[in-house]
Structures are given as C-alpha cells and as structure tokens.
Structure 1
Amino acid sequence: MDDIRPPVAQGSTRFLDELRLHIRQNGLAYRTEQTYLFWIKNFIRFHSRQHPKHLGSHEIEAFLSHLAEQRNCSVSTQRIALNALVYMYKRFMGVDVGDLRFSPAPAPKRLPVVYSREEIAAILSHLRGVHRLQVELMYGTGLRKAELLSLRVKDIDFGSNNIFVRGGKGDKDRTTMLPQRLKSRLIQQIGHVKRLHAQDLLDGYGEVYLPNALSKKYPSAATDIAWQFLFPSTTIGKDPRSGTLRRHHLHPSALSKQIRKAVQAAGINKPAKSHSLRHSFATHLLGPVHTNLAVAVMSKKSPIEERIARFGGPK
C-alpha cells in the first residue's frame, strides 16, 4: 500500500511535516509529494543538514550544478529537483529565489519506445491470466500503469463503453474507450472481484481504501463492491494511514516484472517498459502514415515544461 499517504502527526512543528501538509493542502499528487521530499532531503544533506531557511539561491545553484557535473544526472532529473526546491522556497516558505544560474545537465533528444503490432502480439503470447488482461487494457486504452491499478469496479461502464480514470496525471479525471473485445474478460474479472470481496467480508475484512475524505462522507462505500479495486491484491495488508487490515490493488512491481519477462521471452530488443504500451497505443491509433506525428505528440512538452527546461523555474 505504498501509494497511500501516511498520516502526519497533529500539531507537528517539524519542517518536513509542515511541508507535507502544505503539499497536501495544495492538492498535489502523492507521487509528487514523495518526489519533492526526496530531492529536498537530498538538498539538505548536501549542505550538511542545514535548515533551508539558512540557505538560498547560491546553495540551490551549487546543488543543481552538482547533480549535472558530479552525479551526471539527466536534464529531466535536474528539472525535477529544481521544481521541488522552487516549490519549497517560493510556495511554502514565500522566498523568491530569483533567476538561478547553474550548470545545466545535457539534454539528449530521445524518441519514446514504441512496439510494433507484431511485437505487441508476441508480448501478449507470453502472458497469462490477469497480467495479460492488464497489458491488453494498457495497450487498448492508453492507460498509465498507476491509472490501471487504481481502477475500481465502478469505473468500468459497459453501457457507454467507457473507462473512467479518476485522479490521473495532474490529479485530473478523464474517460477512455472500452475495447469491445475485452468486455467478456472484464466481466469475468469483476465476477472474480465479487467472489473475493464476499469472502473477505465473511473473514472480517472487506473495507477498501477510499481517497481523500470519502470514507467520512460515505461511511458504507468502503464495503460496497463498486468501490473495490478491479485488480485486487492477492494478500491482505495494513493500511499505513489507519492501521486497518484490508485488501489493496496489485503492486505495480508485479506487473512490471511480468512485462519484462514477456518482452525478453518474445526476443524483443527494446526496453521493457509499461509506458511503452501507452506510446504504442497512440502510434497505432493514428496509423502508420502518422507515426511521426504520434511520436511528436507523445514527446511534446507542455508550455510550462518548456519554460522549466530553460531553467527559469515556475513564474
């Protein structure tokens, strides 16, 4: 359950605890919170554990230059560290760090990995059961791995042939198409979830994790079949937020391992990444004539990303 935010002690005056609360109050995703805290801790350690209030622009520049010159970090890694530090100083501490000048990391242009239709078929031939269904869903819908694993039973709408993605990248909701050929297997998967949930209730479990404050707003929703994860874990675990024993969704590492094994077994000499299924979805959706356009669309940075790429930081 490492995608559930742990609680922050009430009334804590620790700097990092107050920063965590600020991040949560501003609605940033938990993955963003984890990433920002990781780089901020690295920044503090780099400067001999000095409190950030005693550090400033010069120390930020030294740290970012160190990432490029000594640690050989990529430009994307350096950009993430920059975002974390600008958030801490500008939004949390209210300190304007000004125009930062540091050694930029090299920015090689890399095209996303795209599997051909034949390679997709070969990968699928080496997958079985729930993992094959998961890979077919990612390829057939363009879902990210985290979005796939976060799906609940209620997010599959057979009537409108839609899949609802809740709290996707940028904490935004959206819909994507429901592949017709996967309908029967999704119905079977939901049947499996219902049987597993019924047994959990008999065993004294059956309460699923609910995001935000939904557990208070809808007290009975946690045991409702509609809110159960579409791909539940095979084991019961402890919720780090409340200590409650409950069944979460399958761990992302299990899916990554299966994809890696399938790509190797298929003899494909390309990186085994779940996100490549999303790139393949976009490319094949546009068709072979528009392959270059698909690659450009999947590679294109937003205006904000372009601005940060020039190391100006958020305005």
Structure 2
Amino acid sequence: MSESKLLTKVREEIRRRNYSYRTEKAYLRWIIRFIKFHALTHPLKMEKEEVVEFLNWLANERNVAASTQNQALCAIVFLYKQVLNEPLGAFDNLQRASEPKRLPVVLSAKEARRVLANMEGDVRLMTELLYGSGLRQSECLRLRVKDIDFEFNQIWVRNGKGKKDRTTVLPEVSKEKLKNQIKRVKLLHQKDLEKGYGEIILPKALAKKYPSLVTSFGWQYLFPSNRRAKDPRSEVTQRYHKSSSYLHKAIKEAVSKTNIIKKVSSHTFRHSFATHLLQDGYDIRTVQELLGHKNVSTTMVYTHVLKKGGRGVKSPIDN
C-alpha cells in the first residue's frame, strides 16, 4: 500500500465514523508528520518503539502541550487500530508532556458587560451565548435554527465534546435578538433556494434517511457565513457557519477597547459562566451538566477561582 493509498484509506475510515472535518485534517497532518519523522518508512514496518520515539520527541524536543501530544497519539492509534488493523496496545516508556496547572481566567460580571458593550450584531449575540449559556466556541458556531427552544427556555447542544447532546440555559436578554437572527437566516436561506442553493451539512445517518432535510430551514446554521463555499468532502456548494477566527477577532477588538488587561478569549466567557453560577449558589452538579463535563472534577476547578485571596487567607497588612 503506497503512502497516497494509505492516506486515502485513513480519510475513508474517518468519514465512515462521521468525524469532523477538523479532526480529519488534524489526524492526516499527524500521520504524515509521524511518517516523515521516520524517513518515510511505512507504518507497517514500524512498531510501538517508533511511535513512542516520535511522541517523546514531541514532548522533549518540541516542547508541545499535553493536548497536542495527546492528539498526535490519538491519530497514530487510529491509524494502526482502524486502518491497518494492528492495534498497538499499551505504551511503555512513553513520556507524557506535562500539563501545566493553571486556573482559568475569569471576568467579573462588570468586565463581561464592558466587553459586550463594545460589540454589536451577530458577534455580540454569539458572545452573549458564550457567557450566558456556557457554550464552547465550536458549539456556538455550530448551532442550528432548530436548536433554540424558546418554549422551554433552553438551547440544545448537539454532538458536543465526547459526542454527547445536552441542554443549557437560554438567556432572557438574548431572546429577541435570537428571534431577529432567525428571521435574517430565513431570508438568507430563501435567497439561496431561489438561486439553486440552500443545502446544508447534515449528520451522515440523517442525510441518508431523510435526504430532503438538506434544504430544510430548521437545519440551517444560526450564524451562517456571508459566503457560500464548496464543501471539501461532498463538493456541494453550500453555506457553512461563521469561522472561529471571525469571532476571535471580534472579541479581541472589543477587549482592546476596554481597560481589561486579562488575557481574554472566547473560552473566558464559558469560564465566567461557570464561576458566576457557583458564586450565585447553584450546585456544582447542575453546573457540570450545563457545561457538559464528563467528570465533576473538571468543574471543580471553578471552586478554586472563587476562593478569596491565597487559600482564603487575609493578608496581615490589612489588619
């Protein structure tokens, strides 16, 4: 099997499992890098020792983050197990990249409002959902029209991290804006249909079972891109959602207009959502479910942010 055929098989296996396009690109990139690291040696001619050597090199020589090393590991494990049918088993002598123990950056309610005051349009609405609903950036961008449930005051997060569905709170302050946004999406969708477009990406199983849904309004992205583009997989011209860079730049620009010197990203608003809920007396299990955390230990980090001063100690200079 030549390298090009190998990569084709990797793509086929990834798409058969309905992984995201971002995951597909990341896995292919790591597999190519792994093969190049070993002078273009075919993976079937290598064993666990070569895999460990590459992963240790990433940690020790390239000083990559633990999440980066883990992504490379997942890509290579996928290659051997799902594509080559040669599971690698447990790894000996694997040196894990160290995971820095950092507390999340959190904005106060006043700081969050100051940032929002410097935003308008769809970027303000998206940021309101990051802060008001605790959404991850990718979850917000992937929202469909049908995911907004005004009757039950909730937002459906479909296929979130860990391929799980969940619901979270729908902020009252965002309701009218969301209704207006949906009206704009409907007008845009109607124009696309009139021009012979209007198809949307659907989960693979759903697209096969209900092919007519590809042009349905409910499945349209809540925050559609300004441009239509050809899907790299299906090669169908359609309207995708706004890009992550679009939201990132808007947040960065809004923060620059304030006197906030904290390092603020889209994830900062999710951290602030969780911290402020705990501050308001909501129990940690409720917050865990709203965030979609698998383990409550992940949510526990926000309890540390709430501690006043160093471990709740009053400074002697204040006596």
TM bucket, shorter chain: 0.7 to 0.9
1:174 aligns with 2:175: no
Distance 1:215 1:22 in 2: 18
Indicate yes or no: 2:289 matched with 1:297.
no
Q: Which residue of 2 aligns with 1:125?
A: 117
Which of 96, 113, 126 is matched with 1:134 structurally?
126
Alignment of 1:1-315 (within 5 A): 14-92=5-83, 93-287=85-279, 297-298=298-299
C-alpha spacing 1:75/1:291, structure 2 compared with 1 (3 Å): farther
Q: 1:164 to 1:103 in 2, by over 3 A?
A: closer
Aligned-partner SS, 1:234? strand
Deviation at 1:246, TM superposition (A): 2.0
Amino acid at match of 2:171: P
Deviation at 1:151, TM superposition (A): 1.1
Instruction: State the identity %.
Output: 47
In the superposition, relative to structure 1, how do residues 100 and 35 fare at CA in structure 2: closer, same or farther (>3 Å)?
A: farther
Contact 2:18–2:203 (CA under 8 A) maintained in structure 1: no
How far residue 299 of structure 1 moved from its aligned partner, in angstroms, is 6.8
Residue-by-residue CA offset, 1:281-313 (whole Å, 9 max, x unaligned): 11111117799998963476xxxxxxxxxxxxx
Give the CA deviation at 1:188: 0.7
User: Could you say what secondary structure the match of 1:38 adopts?
Assistant: helix
What amino acid is the match of 2:75?
A: A
Return the offset for 1:97: 4.5
Letter in 2 for 1:57: K
Cα distance 1:47–1:146, how it changes in 2: closer, same or farther (>3 A)? Answer: same
Write the letter of the residue equivalent to 1:71. Answer: R
Contact 2:134–2:270 at 8 Å: present in 1 too? yes
Aligned residue pairs total 289
Whole-Å separation in 1 of the counterparts to 2:272 and 2:125: 16
TM-aligned CA distance change 1:78 to 1:242, over 3 Å:
closer
CA distance in 2, matches of 1:156, 1:231: 12
Q: For the residues of structure 2 that align with 1:170 and 1:31, how far apart are their CA atoms?
A: 15
Question: Alpha-carbon deviation of 1:219?
Answer: 2.9
2: CA distance, partners of 1:119 / 1:81: 37
Given that residues 237 and 246 in structure 1 are in contact (C-alpha distance below 8 angstroms), is that contact kept between their aligned partners in structure 2?
yes
1:308 corresponding residue in structure 2? none
Higher relative contact order (CA 8 A, sep 6+): 1
Task: Give 1:179's aligned amino acid.
Answer: P
Q: Which amino acid aligns with 1:155?
A: D
Give secondary structure in 2 for the equivalent of 1:263. Answer: helix
TM-score (ref. length: structure 2): 0.82
CA pair 37-183 structure 1, distance change in 2 beyond 3 A: same
- Partners of 2:172 and 2:190 lie apart in 1 by 28
**What is the CA-CA distance between 1:20 and the residue it aligns to?**
2.7
Tell me which residue corresponds to 2:307: none
Distance 2:174 2:94 in 1: 51
Q: Which runs of 5+ in 1 are unaligned?
A: 1-11, 301-315
Displacement, 1:199?
Answer: 1.8
Distance 1:25 1:195, change over 3 A: closer
Cα distance, 1:91 vs. partner?
A: 4.5
* Helix, strand or coil at the partner of 2:69: helix
CA offsets per residue over residues 233-281 of structure 1, 9 Å max, x none? Answer: 1112122233322222112211111011112222322223111111111
SS at match of 1:175: strand
1: CA distance, partners of 2:130 / 2:243: 16
Unaligned runs of 5+ in 2: 288-295, 302-319
Which deviates more from structure 2 when the two are superposed, residues 117-126 or residues 206-215?
A: 206-215
Assess if the C-alpha contact under 8 Å between 2:52 and 2:91 holds in 1.
Answer: no
Q: How many angstroms does 1:190 deviate by?
A: 0.7
Q: Which moved more, 1:208-217 or 1:246-255?
A: 208-217
Is the alpha carbon distance of 1:199 and 1:99 closer, same or farther for their aligned partners in structure 2, counting shifts above 3 Å? closer
Contact 1:141 1:281 in 2 (8 A): yes
Secondary structure of the equivalent of 2:202? Answer: coil
> Which residue identity lines up with residue 129 of structure 1 in the other structure?
G
2:224 and 2:242 in contact (8 A); partners too: yes
The one-letter code matched in structure 2 to 1:150 is: R
